[in-house]
Amino acid sequence: MRGKRAKQYKKLMQQYGLSYGFREPYQVLVDSGILRDADKFKMDLVGGLERTLQGQVKPMITQCSMRHLYAASSEPGVSYLIDKAKTYERRRCGHRPEEYPEPLSEQDCLASVVDPKNNKTNKNCYVVASQEIDVRKHMRGVMGVPLVYIARSVMIMEPMADATSDNREREERTKFRAGLKRGSGSLKRKREDDPDEGGEGKTDGVQGDSTQKKKKKSGKGPKEPNPLAVKKSKKSKSVESGESKKAEDVESSNPDPSGTIESGGKRKRRRKPKSSTEGAAADGSEAVNEE
């Protein structure tokens, strides 16, 4: 496989891994059609899958797909395919001949295997390798199903379906937000510390700068230089900053006590690191009682 596509597929599988927990060996559900086409194009199906997914694969075939092959066993070459398919892991779809005298269509069978509860999730992390456009169309509606097919003797992996990538982004955003909420206490603390650090002359994050500005505005500092002006003239700053920074430091230590007034919840959190050194399990509630 050529470099660009290989890179693209590698990235895709990494995304599936990160967002949906795909791991090697990848479980690949192959249908009877891709078995046939691989054979038609003289392709090594499993080898092709491993090159495309760039990892170990575990080929699987459902009972219904096997039955479709058996039904066509009189066609030339199919018995060879049956023997080949027998070496793959049989995925018990539960569509037994007693209940289903005719095998399910591969679309219905694969749909029930990949998403048994019909809640649009691919809980078992299956890759679907199918030559049927309708199968792939259906699977695009299920979250996180890598889809593979053969087009003119080239194995193709479809780009992430819109539903899947939308969901991925949504989940990343919620994770991000959850992270912010969880870490809000420490974030606050950090922000309060930042101006001190920034005051040392490090022209770092925008965050630190903006908080500094806010503090200056709210504080009395008419004496202090315009922060924007300070930023521009870095050289003169070093001369000036000696004194003004010290004054700032005194000031920026002031907002700390004002921060504790904010609210009860935050107060607890801020107390934690000091008081919970002995009983880490004991929560902020105790720390408050001590007061």
Q: Given the rule CB under 5 A, which residues bind Zn ion?
A: 62, 64, 93, 95, 104, 109
CB of 63 to Zn ion, least distance (A): 5
Cα 31 from Cα 142, distance rounded (Å): 18
Nearer to Zn ion, 104 or 157 (CB): 104
CB of 93 to Zn ion, least distance (A): 3
Cα 34 from Cα 150, distance rounded (Å): 7
Nearer to Zn ion, 64 or 69 (CB): 64
Question: From start to end of the chain, where are the E strands?
Answer: 26-30, 57-62, 89-91, 126-129, 147-151, 154-157
CB of 157 to Zn ion, least distance (A): 24
Nearer to Zn ion, 109 or 143 (CB): 109
Q: Could you tell me which residues come within 8 angstroms of residue 135 by beta carbon, excluding any fewer than 6 positions away?
A: 31, 106, 107, 110, 128
Cα 131 from Cα 45, distance rounded (Å): 12
Cα separation values, 209 from 150, 182, 212, 216, 239, Å: 55, 24, 5, 11, 19
Nearer to Zn ion, 106 or 251 (CB): 106
Cα 27 from Cα 156, distance rounded (Å): 17
Cα separation values, 39 from 20, 28, 36, 134, 281, Å: 31, 17, 5, 21, 62
CB of 182 to Zn ion, least distance (A): 43
Nearer to Zn ion, 38 or 93 (CB): 93
Nearer to Zn ion, 86 or 175 (CB): 86
- The closest of 48, 13, 24 to 34, measured between CA atoms, is 48
CB of 95 to Zn ion, least distance (A): 3
Nearer to Zn ion, 97 or 265 (CB): 97
CB of 55 to Zn ion, least distance (A): 26
Cα 14 from Cα 8, distance rounded (Å): 10
CB of 73 to Zn ion, least distance (A): 18
